[in-house]
Chains A and B, each alone.
Chain A
């Protein structure tokens, strides 16, 4: 099991750096993970994306479609890619504490 250390805190993560136990996730974890990806501060737009990903995961057990993220947040596709340069999966889902989605992501 890999670990990931940021600002003195240690998290258990998979090889791709996704949180092993999604249940230990909270806002502080999100901030730390975002920082390590080069996002110094999570703006309201970032949080809107993270919240919808998180609630979809808690309800359905997986990441939402990008369609749902756009619909629920009112953000444009390109804005989402700009807010999370690593993309919705490796960027946003990781900050939201989800396991890595399957497939070519």
Chain B
């Protein structure tokens, strides 16, 4: 068991002592233990052990709060279930808050009084991060982003090489020198962002998006240095690191004088940049921030791109990324784009705001330590997909894509997994203007 540094432990407890965060204090004290959250959580549904009930997970944090921040907890801790923040408590927190929660927020929708459970989970993670207790693999992903500018440590020259390659292919396919993938261009309307797994291993989604932007005659650019839409600081909950990663992107947009930040297909990255970014940096962003889904939706509505649904004939379904739909308000817009692009569509059950997580959220995909659990809880998603009878699953999040690829293999679903830009690009009618 790892020994806790006393000074760091005090700093971790200080996070709960803050009187200025009224939301935190309210939500730490509100749970009525009705148990409704249990049946909403993939971990509890799969494992059926009490420690996986969302209320139990956040009670770890609440019990520390009671121990150090309330009179009863300070004087008669046993009577009020107040607990010391010691090594065994820290171990339990790591397992429950990093290892057994994807922060999907489905429990919040089912909570009888609306406790923001992932908010408390995140506060617990912040305490662990303060004590240097972030799971190694998750920390490695954050370190790569801090040290290299992207979470996979891709050297700039190799990134540029990949983009040039995708550009050549696109020019070839479109038979038009204007079908470009611009890099580091100044004063463009769109500053586009990617998940590093695209250039590293799955670049077809880059050329798909480039094709959509070409068809819409968009003014856009990628940065060759800070193009990473992810912010794993959102997951390890080290606020200084989350702020640094958000700042790198913020500064780069200003450097290239981009008008709009378009968040590539990434659930947590969209949330971390759009909603949390301004809070990390403590200032309102002076540029518009929207997701790729909304950008494409706008193009369809404004007639900037034309789609032929009959080009996507198979039966399609949507996997809703938690941070874009339940926690991001993208329910209708995502369906508008999908229904404009495919001929046959079926919802999974449940769908939309009540959909299940892919099982790989909350940084779970990066944490090898909990791989078994991730694949186990993913069976719920695999069953949902199988029951639709769909041949293609669409999801506008690369993290979800990777988890679904693994579920497809593990549970032999025999489906294809596609991003939204890939599906839209397949339905595009290209009208040559020259």
Distance (Å) between the CB of B376 and the closest chain A CB?
A: 12
Q: Which residues of chain B (131-151) have a CB below 8 Å from chain A? A: 137, 140-141, 144, 151
A62 at the interface (CB under 8 A from B): yes
A9 at the interface (CB under 8 A from B): no
Q: Which residues of chain A (3-41) have a CB below 8 Å from chain B? A: 14-18, 37-38
Closest B residue by C-beta to A78? B204
Q: Within the complex, which residue of B165, B197, B371 is in contact with A104, where a contact is CB–CB below 8 Å? A: B197
Q: By the criterion CB–CB under 8 Å, are B200 and A101 in contact? A: yes
Q: By the criterion CB–CB under 8 Å, are B370 and A15 in contact? A: yes
Binary contact track A91-105/B, C-beta < 8 Å → 1, others 0:
000000000111111
How many residues in A have their beta carbons less than 8 Å from beta carbons of B? 26
Q: By the criterion CB–CB under 8 Å, are B162 and A15 in contact? A: no
Q: Contact residues of B with A, CB < 8 Å?
A: 137, 140-141, 144, 151-154, 158, 161-162, 165, 195-197, 199-204, 230, 266, 365-372, 398-399, 402, 405-406, 409
Q: Within the complex, which residue of B200, B369, B370 is in contact with A65, where a contact is CB–CB below 8 Å? A: B200
Assuming the contacts A89-B201, A90-B406, asked whether A15 and B153 have C-beta atoms less than 8 A apart, the reply is: no
Q: By the criterion CB–CB under 8 Å, are B409 and A85 in contact? A: yes
Q: By the criterion CB–CB under 8 Å, are A100 and B144 in contact? A: no
A103 contacts across to B, CB distance below 8 A: 141, 144, 151-152, 195-197, 200, 230, 366
Assuming the contacts A14-B368, A102-B144, A102-B151, asked whether A77 and B402 have C-beta atoms less than 8 A apart, the reply is: no
4 new A-B contacts at CB < 8 Å, known A15-B370, A65-B162, A86-B406: A17-B371, A65-B161, A102-B144, A103-B152
Q: Within the complex, which residue of A14, A63, A86, A88 is in contact with B409, where a contact is CB–CB below 8 Å? A: A86
Assuming the contacts A102-B153, A103-B230, asked whether A66 and B366 have C-beta atoms less than 8 A apart, the reply is: no
A102 contacts across to B, CB distance below 8 A: 137, 140-141, 144, 151-153, 366
Candidate in B141, B197, B372 with the most chain A CB atoms within 10 angstroms = B197
Closest A residue by C-beta to B166? A67
A74 at the interface (CB under 8 A from B): no
B165 contacts across to A, CB distance below 8 A: 67
Q: Within the complex, which residue of A37, A63, A77, A104 is in contact with B365, where a contact is CB–CB below 8 Å? A: A104
| 20 A-B pairs whose Cβ atoms sit less than 8 Å apart in the complex | A15-B370, A17-B371, A37-B409, A38-B409, A65-B162, A65-B201, A66-B162, A67-B158, A67-B203, A77-B204, A86-B406, A88-B201, A89-B200, A90-B405, A102-B141, A102-B366, A103-B196, A104-B197, A104-B399, A105-B365
Closest A residue by C-beta to B410? A86
Main secondary structure of the interface of B (DSSP, over half): helix
Q: By the criterion CB–CB under 8 Å, are B203 and A86 in contact? A: no
B161 contacts across to A, CB distance below 8 A: 65, 67
Distance (Å) between the CB of A34 and the closest chain B CB?
A: 13
Distance (Å) between the CB of B330 and the closest chain A CB?
A: 19
Distance (Å) between the CB of B355 and the closest chain A CB?
A: 19
Q: Within the complex, which residue of A77, A85, A89 is in contact with B203, where a contact is CB–CB below 8 Å? A: A77
A68 contacts across to B, CB distance below 8 A: 158
Q: By the criterion CB–CB under 8 Å, are B196 and A15 in contact? A: no
Whole-angstrom distance between the alpha carbons of A77 and B198 in the complex? Answer: 12
Candidate in A17, A66, A100 with the most chain B CB atoms within 10 angstroms = A66
Distance (Å) between the CB of B159 and the closest chain A CB?
A: 8
Whole-angstrom distance between the alpha carbons of A65 and B369 in the complex? Answer: 25
Whole-angstrom distance between the alpha carbons of A18 and B402 in the complex? Answer: 16
Distance (Å) between the CB of B170 and the closest chain A CB?
A: 13
B371 contacts across to A, CB distance below 8 A: 14-17
Whole-angstrom distance between the alpha carbons of A37 and B200 in the complex? Answer: 22
